[in-house]
A and B are shown apart, each in its own frame.
Chain A
Amino acid sequence: SSELTQDPAVSVALGQTVRITCQGDSLRSYYASWYQQKPGQAPVLVIYGKNNRPSGIPDRFSGSSSGNTASLTITGAQAEDEADYYCNSRDSSGNHLFGGGTKLTVL
C-alpha cells in the first residue's frame, strides 16, 4: 500500500527514551525522514537518510529502520521535545508520502 502509519500519540517520562514508529511497504526500499512540529510552527527536519541529523539537531535524536518500519528514537527526552512528529518517504512512483503524525507528550 502507499501509506505510512504512525501511532497517534505516545508519552514518555522526562529524561527517558522513547521510540516513535512509522510503518509502510515503501520503507522496505526507502529511508524515512522525520519532522518535528510544534504548535503554530512549520515542521523542522530532525532525521533523514540512514541516521543523519541536520545541523543544530541534538544528538539525542536518532533514526533506524527495519523491514517495513522506520523509527525515531529520542534518548533522554526533554520537555522541549513535546511536539508532533511526522515521517516522510515515497511510494513506488516517486511521490512523497507523510505519515499521520504522532503527538509526543513528555510527562
Chain B
Amino acid sequence: QITLKESGPTLVKPTQTLTLTCTFSGFSLSTSGVGVGWIRQPPGKALEWLALIYWDDDKRYSPSLKSRLTITKDTSKNQVVLTMTNMDPVDTATYYCARTRFGELLFRDWGQGTLVTVSS
C-alpha cells in the first residue's frame, strides 16, 4: 500500500522560510523512474504544481516560483523536503505531495495535504 503524508508548520510569518516534509511508504525513491512532487492549493482555488524530484536527483521547479523553492530527498528516510523562502500571505494554501514516474504526466498517489497559513 502506498501512502504519503505531509508535515510541517501550520502557521508561518511573512518573510519566513517554510519547510515541509513528505514521508512516504510503499515505494522507494531509489527505484528507477520514481518521482515525488509538491502541489499546492490556496483556499477555494485551483491546484498549482510547485516542484518535482526524481530517483536520480533530477529536480524540476515551477518557473514562477523557482527562485524561492528547493526540493531535496532523503532516500534512507523515505522523505522529500520542500523549502520555500520569503513566505507571503498569498502562499497560504494546502500543500500536497504526490507520487509520479518519469515521463508520466500524472500524480498517481497523493498525501492528505497540510494547510499552511501565512500571517503575522
A-to-B contact residues, CB < 8 Å: 30-33, 35, 37, 42-45, 48-49, 54, 86, 88-90, 93-101
Contacts and interface: CB of A to CB of B under 8 A. Distances in A.
A32 B39 CA distance: 17
Which 4 A-B pairs rank lowest in CB-CB distance, beginning with the nearest?
Answer: A33-B106, A96-B49, A42-B110, A98-B47
Contact of B105 (A32, A42, A99): A32
Interface of B: 37, 39, 46-49, 52, 60-63, 96, 104-108, 110-113
Contacts, number: 59
26 contacts: A30-B105, A31-B105, A32-B105, A33-B107, A35-B107, A37-B47, A42-B113, A43-B96, A44-B110, A45-B106, A45-B108, A54-B108, A86-B46, A86-B47, A88-B105, A89-B105, A93-B63, A95-B49, A95-B61, A96-B37, A97-B49, A98-B46, A98-B48, A98-B49, A99-B46, A101-B47
Given A42-B113, A48-B104, A101-B47, 9 more contacts: A30-B105, A33-B105, A33-B106, A42-B110, A49-B106, A86-B46, A93-B63, A98-B48, A100-B46
Contacts of A94: 60
A30 B48 CA distance: 18
Contacts of B106: 33, 45, 48-49, 88
A73 to B, nearest CB: 18
A33 to B, nearest CB: 4
A98 B108 CA distance: 15
A90 B105 contact: yes
